[in-house]
């Protein structure tokens, strides 16, 4: 609401300039500061400063800042820098990086809209009964920790130490290859059935609280686990999570059904 109010006030401040498509607020040599640029820049300042820049003295002070920026730019444009090989190389690098950002952004937009279209067509529809049935079959969530190792021998040695009473948190911090969880003693997110790495899932949900499990092999490496707790999840608590999980399963099934149209070839030998 505050941001919308701020935009309205800015519009009022420039009502006198309606005659031009994008009125000029100030000129610095051949460079211009237009109304739209002033509004955009003023909208970028911190929330606490915006009240001040709406005042007459604040607006003029902010314009002086923009004028100084244009003065620096004008001087730079007149220098030898734009003709230097270093500038041209850096500019080309910037163009390529921007093109890559636009390409990635376009890919993300396209895939997001495609998935949304699948939803609209009912391909990914999850009914309330689906959620209820899933929670009836898988009613608990688990808390667990893991240590990720690179070889079965290293995992077996770690499992032996942990079963002998070594601190799981300490061992995870020192030995785990999973940098995202090692600093927190190997703690993984609280998980429902279906939210755990498939290779670990069946074992984890059968383990007793406090039990050490593994080593277990997954595509990431070799895991040694400890189950820290479990609790039953109510329909209210689990509804959104289960709906997302079931939707993902439907999307995975849809992708599998169309994959024959898009043959996959892993070219690099090290990934085969």
Chain segment 207-223, per-residue pLDDT in tens: 999 999 989 999 999 99
CATH topology of domain 140-232: Chitinase A; domain 3 (3.10.50)
pLDDT of residue 55: 79
Does residue 185 register a pLDDT over 90?
yes
**Domain parsing of the chain, residue ranges:** 2-77, 140-232
- 142-175: string of b/e by CB count within 10 Å (b at 16+)? bbbbbbbbeeeebbeebbebbeeeeebeebbbeb
Environment class of residue 53 by beta-carbon count within 10 Å: exposed (0-12), middle (13-18) or buried (19+)?
buried
Chain segment 213-264, per-residue pLDDT in tens: 989 999 999 999 999 999 999 999 999 999 999 999 999 999 999 999 998 8
pLDDT of residue 271: 76
Does residue 107 register a pLDDT over 80?
yes
Gap between the Cα atoms of 191 and 202, Å rounded: 13
pLDDT of residue 269: 82
Residue 20: pLDDT band with limits 50, 70, 90? low
Integer CA distances (angstroms), 171 to 144, 159, 185, in order: 15, 10, 8
- The proportion of the chain whose per-residue pLDDT surpasses 70, expressed as a percent, equals 92
Chain segment 123-161, per-residue pLDDT in tens: 999 999 999 999 999 999 999 999 999 999 999 999 999
């Amino acid at each position: 609401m505050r941001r919308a109010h701020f935009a309205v006030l800015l519009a009022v401040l420039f009502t006198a300039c309606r005659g031009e498509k994008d009125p000029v607020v100030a000129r610095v040599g051949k460079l211009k500061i237009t109304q739209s640029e002033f509004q955009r820049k003023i909208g970028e300042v911190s929330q606490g400063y915006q009240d001040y820049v709406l005042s007459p003295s604040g607006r003029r002070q902010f314009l002086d800042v923009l004028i100084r920026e244009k003065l620096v730019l004008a001087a730079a444009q007149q220098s030898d820098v734009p003709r230097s090989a270093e500038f041209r190389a850096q500019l080309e690098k910037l163009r390529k990086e921007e093109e890559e950002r636009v390409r990635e952004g376009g890919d993300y937009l396209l895939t997001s809209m495609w998935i949304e279209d699948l939803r609209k067509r009912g391909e990914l529809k999850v009914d309330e009964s689906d959620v209820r049935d899933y929670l009836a079959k898988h009613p608990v969530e688990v808390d667990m920790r893991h240590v990720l190792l690179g070889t079965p021998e290293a995992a077996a040695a770690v499992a032996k130490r942990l079963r002998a009473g070594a601190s799981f948190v300490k061992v995870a911090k020192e030995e785990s290859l999973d940098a995202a969880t090692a600093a927190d003693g190997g703690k993984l997110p609280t998980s429902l059935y279906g939210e755990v790495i498939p290779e670990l899932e069946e074992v984890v949900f059968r383990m007793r609280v406090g039990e050490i499990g593994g080593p277990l092999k997954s595509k990431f490496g070799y895991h040694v686990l400890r189950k820290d707790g479990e609790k039953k999840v109510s329909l209210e608590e689990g509804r959104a999570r289960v709906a997302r999980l079931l939707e993902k399963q439907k999307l995975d099934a849809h992708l599998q059904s169309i994959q024959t149209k898009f043959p996959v070839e892993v070219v690099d030998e090290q990934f085969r």
